[in-house]
Amino acid sequence: MRKLVVFNHVSLDGYFVDLTGSMSWAKAGTKDAEWNAFVAENAKGDSPLLFGRVTYELMASFWPTPMADQHDPIVAERMNKLEKVVFSRTLGKASWSNTRLVKGDMVAEIRKMKKDLGEDMVILGSGSVVSQLAQEGLIDIYRWW
């Protein structure tokens, strides 16, 4: 059975973003070779990526761009090729490559996906999704940075 993994930057007081909605505090102005190697290694997997609408729109506005290719070409390539699932009741359609939009029962869909064969699934950001799935006991691993 597949596992569901949360991978998030979180401040010590439990926030994903600062008062302006930015998460630039997580890696502000640093060149961290160890972190970059870790991210590149994780990007080599085939784990499906799961998002809520807000995180999905943020990621979809960056990773398919030339800026992403310049900033981190290895991660950009993987982010664009990996299977992605976005959970939203309000999003009209998913436009980022290899993305499936789920408008229905997220909990039921996750239970179904966990039974499928394949790599573990990874939630990036998506605090609302994480909160709802945690309450249902569906998250297997938390990776906080």
The answer to whether residue 25 is domain-embedded is no
Is position 93 within any domain? yes
Number of folded domains that form the chain: 1
More confident: 18 or 50: 50
Contact predicate 49/82, CB 8 Å: yes
Q: Tell me, yes or no, whether 22 lies in a domain.
A: no
Residue pair 17/52 in contact by the 8 Å Cβ criterion: no
CA-to-CA distance for 86 and 98, rounded, in angstroms? 11
Residue 68 inside a domain? The answer is yes
Q: Give burial (CB, 10 Å; 0-12/13-18/19+) of 31.
A: exposed
Note the pLDDT tens digit of each residue in 53-76: 999 999 999 999 999 999 888 889
Query: Tens digit of pLDDT for each residue in 109-143?
Result: 999 999 999 999 999 888 899 999 999 999 999 98
**Domain-located, residue 99:** yes
| 97-71-50 Cα angle (round to 5) | 35
Name the pTM for this structure. Answer: 0.84
pLDDT at 13: 77
Residue 27 lies in a domain: no
Give the range of the structural domain holding residue 104, as residue numbers without chain letter.
4-15+39-144
CATH number at residue 88: 3.40.430.10
- Report if residue 32 sits inside a domain: no
* Residue at 139: amino acid letter: I
Q: What is the layout of strands, in order, in the sheet containing 84-87?
A: 99-102, 84-87, 49-52, 121-124, 4-8, 141-144
Domain assignment of residue 124, yes or no: yes
Does 33 have pLDDT greater than 80? no
Pairing of strands 84-87, 141-144: unpaired
- Write down the mean pLDDT value for the chain: 87
Write down the pLDDT at residue 136. 97
